[in-house]
Chains A and B, each alone.
Chain A
Amino acid sequence: MSEANRAIDSTTTPVITDVRKIGDISQRPPRTLWGDARRRFLKHRLAVLGSLVIIFFTLAVLVGPSIYTVDREALNFDVPTMAGPTWEAPMGTDDLGRDILARALFGGRVTLAVGVTAMLIAILVGTIVGSISGFFGGYLDQLLMWITDTFLSMPTLPLFLLIVYLFRDTLTRALGPETGIFLLVVSVIGLLTWMPTARVVRASFQTLKHREFVEAATCLGVGPLAIMFRHILPNVMSPIIVAATLGVGTAIITESTLSFLGVGFPPDLPTWGRLVTDGQNFLELAPHMSLLPSLLIFLTVLSINFIGDGLRDALDPRSRL
């Protein structure tokens, strides 16, 4: 649209070529919001690199264990224990001779699943609180924002520790050690990290609810819920997508911190944070045991943050030309 205008405005060239130019432009497929966003995202080199790393890691943990078939629990005293990376064991072996790569591939599933699920919970709660607060305003808004601020002042890590530590045994007994702790960790992380999303969504709702398209929808007799979720929410998607991306990184760091402090998953579920903890005591003798899993966490979170950065630039309507 703007390019077409510019072409008409520039009257320095003869009129005939201008007409041809306009014709050319009209034949091109129209530019769309998502098409523009994709083009801008692909220009952000680090974000593309980050996406490739994340795709690689996801594939690796999903298909990896069926290709790399070394037993992750096999105690192997034939190979040197605590040996650094070799061709037989690309990430080395731990103090019991177990292959760290096999463990990391399997544990990575849990780490990535925790990140994504916890983010979904946080985004869901944040979006609901933020949209209600921003759309309805008044006392409801004040109450919800007070709750948000209170949650923001909560000492999160001590609370994580407390809740996970206190409820771990009951949930393990009720749902089994894996599902029980997964649900516990994911919901605790989700319920203690939704606040930034709620604030962003609220701010966007506040500016958008006075726009003409909302007025038009109201005049057509659209109900408040439909206006909120069918008309306003799609326009708030870009900040939500950015918050969601960054949320995965935060959740992964939080899970590995919990595992590091010894309140995460049980030892037979070697998440990356757990592997770091297991290797921590052998830092002097076998630094690869804790540093390589740390590197995996770091690379994942770094890539996610680059993707988030790229998406922010790509989805920002102000940079759309």
Chain B
Amino acid sequence: MTNYIIRRLLIAIPTLLVISFVIFAVLGLAPGDPMSQFGRNPNVPEEVRENIRRSLGLDRPWYERYFLWLNNVLTQGDLGFSFNSRVPVTDLIAQRLPQTLWTVGIAYLVALSIAVPIGVISAVKQYSWFDRIATTMAFVGFSIPSFAIGLLVILIFAVNLRWFPLIYDTTIQVVDLESFTKQLRQIIMPVMVVAIQQSADVTRYLRSSMLDNLPLDYVRTARSKGLRESAVVIRHALRNSLIPVIALMSLGVPAIFTGAIITETLFRVNGIGELLIRSTQLSDTPVVMAITFIYAVLVVLFNLVADVAYATLDPRIRYS
């Protein structure tokens, strides 16, 4: 098992290198210049512009800058300085990454706790009214763009019902019960948006996986030795059905972060997605590069976790 994990890690490294190179190449080959807004100002003399470009390291070709960047990342964990705020990128990201991970993490737990029971009941009572409603809802959830869910959620819960605040307050420090409930109230809507879409996906996967497993011999054996139906379904069928679901879930990881970017922009949550959108508009290359790379790392990391979980759960998978 340890061997398998090590081998998977070794495969992940070249993947990340290639992805970082591609992102850097896109940024480097792009005709856009961080100085372009500045450059349109006729009052800035040519020499000053050149000096600024040199101080930002922009006078060198992009591939040279890539190896410089890679070297700094690998040796010192240094992602450079933001062009816009002159703050180390690592500081900016350290401030914002927790919010993103919290939103995504809570949303995922919520999604699983909604999707697993629905998927199981749907499959056990196939073609019942519950199954029909659940499958239709899953179809709806998976066809609706996340910004539309977001707008609908805002309209219902913030504008009409006034249950939750419209705009995320980034200054709340959780110290006591009152600030905790405040934080809880404002995180519900962003979490809902990511969770609705994820639970739709997981419900569909789990239902079809359960339907594949329920007619199998081992389920009949479990029933014929007199086990309770709940034990047959949960302890026998569900456990086996979850294995392919985990593999499919890893493919959905990029989609989760996409959803998170939309929610963060929509609710103005101060996560890395919101920073990415803002930095893209400001042509703040180091920040954009770093955040895109962090998304890549997260995607590869979660894929790895899913693969390892898959291999651990399914004894039929040989990882030698």
By a beta-carbon cutoff of 8 Å, the part of chain A in contact with chain B is 149-150, 152-159, 161-163, 165-167, 169-170, 249, 253, 256-257, 260-263, 273, 276, 280, 283-284, 287, 290-291, 294, 297-298, 301-302, 304-306, 309
Contact = CB atoms under 8 A, between A and B. Distances in A.
B151 A276 contact: yes
A273 B151 CA distance: 13
A302 B143 contact: yes
A167 B31 contact: yes
A291 B151 CA distance: 8
A260 B139 CA distance: 22
A162 B280 contact: yes
Nearest to A298: B144
Interface in B42-74: none
B301 to A, nearest CB: 10
B258 interface: yes
Contacts of B6: none
A158 B276 contact: yes
Contacts of A287: 155, 159
Contacts, number: 124
Contact of B145 (A165, A291, A297, A306): A297
B265 interface: yes
Given A150-B18, A152-B251, A276-B148, 4 more contacts: A154-B22, A155-B257, A162-B292, A294-B145
Contacts of B206: none
A280 B23 contact: no
B15 A153 contact: yes
Contacts of B231: none
Nearest to A155: B295
B143 A301 contact: yes
For the complex of A and B, list the 6 residue pairs with the smallest distance between their C-beta atoms, beginning with the closest.
A166-B30, A155-B295, A294-B148, A302-B143, A157-B258, A158-B292
A157 B288 CA distance: 12
Given A154-B19, A155-B254, A155-B296, A276 B143 contact: no
Contact of A161 (B147, B151, B280, B300): B280
B159 A284 contact: yes
B82 interface: no
A217 B103 CA distance: 56
A153 B143 contact: no
Q: From DSSP, what is the main secondary structure of chain B's interface residues?
A: helix
Nearest to A156: B254
B15 A149 contact: yes
A288 B17 CA distance: 46
A161 B295 CA distance: 13
Nearest to A164: B280
A164 B299 CA distance: 22
Contacts of A152: 251, 254
B288 A153 contact: no
Contact of B262 (A155, A257, A305, A306): A257
Contact of A162 (B27, B31, B303): B27
B146 A257 contact: yes
B152 interface: yes
A311 to B, nearest CB: 15
Interface in B264-302: 265, 276-277, 280-281, 288, 291-292, 295-296, 298-300
Contacts of A261: 261-262, 265, 277
Contacts of B30: 162-163, 166-167
Nearest to B166: A284
B145 A301 contact: yes
A158 B147 CA distance: 16
B251 A283 contact: no
Contacts of B23: 159, 162
Contacts of A257: 145-147, 258, 262
B238 interface: no
Contact of A302 (B139, B281, B296, B303): B139
A291 B257 contact: no
A125 B22 CA distance: 19
